[in-house]
């Protein structure tokens, strides 16, 4: 039950979205017990993001939400992977990417909660 949302100033073509989805599906395995089989992704391109008071370069904001407790070590590894993915797929510099993590004890699906 992981979720990864990506907001970026870059427009994201269908091809790039498919490539990102595939790479994020591999990267989510950084978290024990998580896989692409349950991963939900969201991509929002063309967002108006200002970073450090500047919008002259492309930027991204990534939210990672996980059912259960998350460990700092996994988050640290995942941030590296996310920056690598967004840099290679979209050309966004890692110093223009913010990533947040949230762990949840309640997560609903299919009419009930886990």
How much of the chain, in percent, has pLDDT values that exceed 90?
A: 98
Q: Report the first-to-last Cα separation within the chain, whole angstroms.
A: 9
Q: Residue 28 burial (CB < 10 Å; 0-12/13-18/19+)?
A: buried
Instruction: Give the model's pLDDT for residue 57.
Output: 97
> Can you tell me the mean pLDDT for 45-51?
97
The model's pLDDT over 9-34, given as tens digits with 9 standing for 90+, comes to 999 999 999 999 999 999 999 999 99
pLDDT band at 7, cuts 50/70/90? very high
> Can you tell me the mean pLDDT for 54-73?
96
> Can you tell me the mean pLDDT for 27-44?
97
pTM of the model: 0.95
């Amino acid at each position: 039950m992981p979720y990864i949302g990506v907001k970026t100033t870059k427009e994201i073509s269908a091809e790039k979205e498919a490539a990102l989805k595939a790479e994020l599906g591999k990267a989510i395995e950084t978290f024990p017990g998580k896989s692409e089989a349950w991963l939900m992704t969201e991509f929002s391109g063309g967002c108006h993001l200002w970073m450090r008071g500047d919008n002259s370069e492309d930027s991204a904001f990534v939210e990672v939400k996980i059912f259960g407790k998350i460990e700092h070590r996994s988050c640290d590894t995942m941030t590296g992977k996310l920056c690598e993915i967004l840099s290679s797929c979209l050309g966004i510099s890692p110093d223009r990417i913010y990533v947040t993590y949230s762990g949840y004890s309640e997560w609903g699906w299919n009419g009930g909660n886990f």
